[in-house]
Homo-oligomer: A and B are copies of this chain.
Amino acid sequence: MVEAIKVLRVRGAPAIGVAGAFGVYLGIKDFSEKESITAFYNHLDEISRKIISARPTAVNLPWAVERIKREARRSGNTIAEKKQIVFDIAKKILEEDRQMCLAIGRHGYEILKIYNTILTHCNAGGFATTEYGTALAPIYYAKDKGKNIKVFADETRPLLQGARITAFELINNNIDVTLICDNMAADVMRKKMIDAVIVGADRIALNGDTANKIGTYGLAVLAKAHNIPFYVAAPSSTFDLSIENGNFIPIEQRESEEIIFCYGKQIAPRNVKVYNPAFDVTPAELITAIITEKGIICQPLKEEIKKNLV
């Protein structure tokens, strides 16, 4: 599990938290029940350290592992009981994430059920979470309700999460999906081939400004120009209420190799200068509403976020 998290076989903050939780259980489940409780705690600490170190910057990973450690110390008397508690908390974390996705799906469905075709960017689906995902949750929820919403998926250069992950997971879930290059979104909007845009979020500021995969901001501007609603779907844990607005969200600049090479194949001059921000910030005023597991946050976002989440 440590290796799976390390090499990104598991990606997406919620999915990493759940995987880490079960990783702790896998690490302790065969521990001899004849040993002392202290020895068990030591082993639990060691396993936890290993798992957390697999992805040091992933917030959900230490959160899940620490929660398990805390509960395992607090409850149960024997090692056998404590093992069961570790397993139960891991299952609880899994179930909570599943419920979070489901709630986003349910709330999102109330908005998206009037649409026939939506456009999404990057991947905020089941492969980043436990089941439904965030941005794709309303699509899956709608399908369960018998409403088939078609999806256009941006391929999402440079790392092609839309082509590699979103298209793959939608096909496997029997959702009608059409792949486009990022620069085709405007054409698709102009020709009224989509009714709405829905994306995930990496971080949302107190005023509603939203950081998400590079290209999201451009989509929001294009949606506005074509009178197409633009939705963000994200769990309430994505809100960083310590950040006043999007100007204070740090944007990671990534390596030029990501653009110059595609799967190891050189596609541009080796020595070309490259600008490669991982994220951009969509200003709150371009966002029609934010869909969370607690409900829909409508405009004015700043006031509504303060009222509902602070």
**Chain A interface residues (CB < 8 Å from chain B):** 121, 152, 154-158, 160, 163-164, 167-168, 171, 176-188, 190, 193, 214-215, 217-218, 221-222, 224-225, 259-260, 262-265, 267-269, 271-277, 280
Contact = CB atoms under 8 A, between A and B. Distances in A.
Given A155-B157, A222-B222, A267 B183 contact: no
A222 B214 contact: no
Q: Which of A179, A214, A277 has its CB near the most chain B CB atoms (within 10 A)? A: A179
A184 B272 contact: no
Nearest to A280: B187
A112 to B, nearest CB: 20
Given A155-B268, A160-B268, A268-B163, A190 B171 contact: no
A157 B163 CA distance: 13
Contacts of A184: 214-215, 275-277, 280
A211 B269 CA distance: 28
Nearest to A171: B269
A275 B180 contact: yes
A11 to B, nearest CB: 17
Given A155-B259, A263-B265, A217 B167 contact: no
Contacts of A267: 155, 160, 163-164, 262-263
B218 A177 contact: no
The 3 A-B residue pairs with the shortest CB-CB distance, nearest first, are: A183-B215, A186-B218, A163-B268
A119 to B, nearest CB: 11
28 contacts: A121-B183, A157-B157, A163-B259, A167-B272, A171-B271, A171-B272, A177-B272, A178-B274, A179-B272, A179-B274, A181-B259, A183-B214, A183-B215, A183-B218, A184-B275, A184-B280, A186-B215, A186-B218, A186-B221, A187-B214, A187-B277, A188-B275, A193-B275, A218-B218, A218-B222, A222-B222, A262-B262, A263-B267
Given A160-B268, A164-B268, A168-B269, A187 B217 contact: yes
Given A181-B182, A263-B265, 14 more contacts: A157-B183, A164-B268, A177-B272, A178-B274, A179-B259, A179-B260, A183-B215, A184-B215, A186-B280, A187-B277, A187-B280, A224-B225, A225-B225, A262-B263
Contact of A154 (B168, B183, B215): B183
A247 to B, nearest CB: 11
Contact of A221 (B121, B179, B222): B222
Contacts of A193: 275
A190 B217 contact: yes
A287 to B, nearest CB: 15
A100 to B, nearest CB: 27
